[in-house]
């Protein structure tokens, strides 16, 4: 019996040691994640950092500071992102109406290959500006993680709302109304 007892003790020791290591790993992960979460996005209420990016397929540059006085929606997306594909038609549907009301939609593309972006643009027939963030400098400036990620900036240049994940048509319209300059 002492041999069985010894084996049970050894198994318990291995089991408890394994649990302790797992718990320690989870604590380290939680601490590291908490330190990194402070930089997920630029905080709501802060001034949106300025940037200048070229429109896709042209030499024309769009600079955020030039849009001051308008509401601005910045959407970070890529062609390989399925939720991004789902929300693009909603943006296209609302763009003409809200552009007239003083809201600009900027879609910042994170793809590295022009061919797939060209194909995407042909398929979706988008009329709002598609900007190229080839080196990811604006994505880094805004500390964007998962895509789609969307920032809604008021006419005063402050970030009013940040949405991580896809937008429905009704949610998108609600956010656009919130950043529409008063007449």
pLDDT tens per residue, range 109-159: 998 888 999 999 999 999 999 999 988 999 999 999 899 999 999 999 999
Is pTM, for the whole model, over 0.85?
Answer: no
Lowest mean pLDDT among 7-21, 67-81, 123-137: 7-21
Domain 52-178, CATH homologous superfamily name and number: Glutaredoxin (3.40.30.10)
Can you tell me the distance from the alpha carbon of 50 to that of 150, in angstroms, rounded to the nearest whole number? 16
Look at residue 68 and tell me whether its pLDDT is greater than 50: yes
Mean pLDDT of the chain: 89
Q: Considering only CA atoms, which of 85, 91, 69 is closest in space to residue 173?
A: 91
How would you label 22-35 residue by residue, b for 16+ Cβ within 10 Å and e otherwise? eeeeeeeeeeeeee
Give percent above pLDDT 90 in the chain.
66
Look at residue 11 and tell me whether its pLDDT is greater than 60: yes
Look at residue 170 and tell me whether its pLDDT is greater than 70: yes
Look at residue 38 and tell me whether its pLDDT is greater than 60: no
Look at residue 41 and tell me whether its pLDDT is greater than 90: no
Look at residue 28 and tell me whether its pLDDT is greater than 90: no
CA 70 to the chain's CA centroid? 21
Q: What is the pLDDT of residue 40?
A: 44
More confident residue, 86 or 30: 86
Task: Give 153's DSSP letter.
Answer: E
């Amino acid at each position: 019996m002492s041999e069985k007892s010894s084996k049970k003790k050894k198994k318990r020791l291995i089991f408890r040691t394994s649990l302790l290591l797992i718990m320690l790993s989870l604590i380290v992960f939680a601490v590291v994640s908490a330190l990194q979460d402070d930089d997920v996005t630029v905080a709501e209420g802060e001034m949106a950092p300025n940037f200048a990016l070229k429109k896709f397929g042209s030499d024309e540059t769009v600079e955020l500071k030039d849009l001051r006085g308008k509401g601005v929606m910045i959407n970070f997306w890529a062609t390989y992102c399925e939720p991004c594909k789902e929300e693009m038609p909603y943006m296209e549907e609302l763009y003409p109406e809200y552009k007239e009301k003083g809201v600009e939609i900027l879609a910042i593309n994170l793809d590295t290959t022009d061919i797939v972006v060209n194909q995407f643009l042909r398929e979706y027939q988008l009329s709002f500006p598609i900007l190229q963030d080839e080196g990811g400098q604006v994505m880094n400036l805004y500390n964007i993680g998962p895509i789609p990620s969307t920032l809604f900036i008021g006419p005063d240049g402050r970030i009013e709302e940040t949405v991580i994940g896809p937008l429905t048509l009704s949610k998108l319209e609600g956010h656009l109304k919130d950043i529409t300059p008063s007449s």
